[in-house]
């Protein structure tokens, strides 16, 4: 069974305190790993897609990396506005030529001023 | 404005009633999806549609129904057969051949 595990479940940082969120996966046939940001009561906002081990993507204070078993979302010098739940999802084959996303439970990040 | 809209934002239902959640997109996306989000759980796929007049069950389709009569619309009906319908419902869409799904703002359904 395909599994996606995010850790930690919750993370509190002081403004400027860099850290990383983890997404580990056990899937048969990865066809992409996605990071989304979700604010309370809103829909997820797309951040990154990674396909191959060694690939990196950056956007402002965020950098996503991928290995064969996990992905990290590195947050450099975070600001309070980075507070959100960060979701990781993997794209796997779901019968025939169909694909589906399997999501982790998310990491709730709080950045204190 | 281009995007994905869901309505209503909040919905209250009495037990035994069917309710329909709206999802519309003007991005010319081909595929549309419905997910359910519960506290402490990952998003779970309810139904998806890759083309008009065709849709497939996701992982938790029991108690739900959908239709795809127009490319831009994918309404979800939560029937009285759904045992625990209180949740946050998210609609997503994407272009055929693309991998990234984009999400709407969500509808929070509460059963009274």
Q: What is the pLDDT of residues B57-88, one digit of tens each?
A: 999 999 999 999 999 999 999 999 998 999 99
Does the pLDDT at position A98 exceed 80? no
Of A26-30, A71-75, A82-86, B108-112, where does mean pLDDT reach its minimum?
A26-30
Mark yes or no for CB contact A44/B40 under 8 Å.
Answer: no
The pLDDT-based confidence of A27 (bands split at 50, 70, 90) is confident
Tell whether A60 is within 8 A of chain B (Cβ). no
For residue B56, the tally of other CB atoms under 10 A from its CB is 15
What local confidence, expressed as pLDDT, does residue A108 receive? 98
Rg of chain B over CA atoms, in angstroms? 13
What local confidence, expressed as pLDDT, does residue B62 receive? 97
Does the pLDDT at position A18 exceed 80? yes
The structure tokens 């956007």 sit at: A59
Output the six-digit token pair for B32: 């549309």
Does the pLDDT at position A92 exceed 90? no
Mark yes or no for CB contact B105/A34 under 8 Å.
Answer: no
Does the pLDDT at position A97 exceed 70? no
Task: Establish how many alpha carbons lie within 13 A of residue A107's alpha carbon, considering only the half-sphere containing its beta carbon.
Answer: 27
| Model confidence pLDDT, tens digit, residues B26-47 | 999 999 999 999 998 999 999 9
Chain B positions touching chain A (beta carbons under 8 Å):
4, 6, 40-45, 48, 50, 56, 58, 88, 90, 92, 99-106, 108
Does the pLDDT at position B17 exceed 70? yes
For residue B77, the tally of other CB atoms under 10 A from its CB is 14
What local confidence, expressed as pLDDT, does residue B37 receive? 98
Chain A partners within 8 Å of B41 (Cβ): 105
Distance (Å) from the alpha carbon of B90 to chain A's nearest alpha carbon: 7
What local confidence, expressed as pLDDT, does residue B1 receive? 58
The pLDDT-based confidence of B6 (bands split at 50, 70, 90) is very high
């Amino acid at each position: 069974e395909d599994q996606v595990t995010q850790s930690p479940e919750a993370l509190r940082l002081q403004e400027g305190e860099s850290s990383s969120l983890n997404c580990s996966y056990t899937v048969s046939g990865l066809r992409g790993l996605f990071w989304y940001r979700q604010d309370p009561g809103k829909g997820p906002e797309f951040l990154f897609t990674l396909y191959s081990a060694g690939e990196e993507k950056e956007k402002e204070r965020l950098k996503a990396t991928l290995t064969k078993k996990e992905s990290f979302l590195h947050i450099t010098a975070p600001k309070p506005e980075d507070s959100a739940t960060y979701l990781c999802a993997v794209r796997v084959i779901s019968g025939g030529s169909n694909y589906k996303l399997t999501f982790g439970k998310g990491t709730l990040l709080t950045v204190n001023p | 404005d281009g995007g994905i809209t869901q309505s209503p934002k909040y919905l209250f239902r009495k037990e035994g009633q069917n309710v329909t959640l709206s999802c519309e997109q003007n991005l010319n996306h081909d595929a549309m999806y419905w997910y359910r989000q519960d506290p402490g759980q990952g998003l779970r796929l309810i139904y998806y549609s890759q083309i008009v007049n065709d849709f497939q069950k996701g992982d938790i389709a029991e108690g739900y129904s959908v239709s795809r009569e127009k490319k831009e619309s994918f309404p979800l009906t939560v029937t009285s057969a759904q045992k625990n319908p209180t949740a946050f419902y998210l609609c997503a869409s994407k272009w055929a051949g693309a991998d990234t799904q984009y999400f709407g703002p969500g509808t929070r359904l509460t059963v009274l």
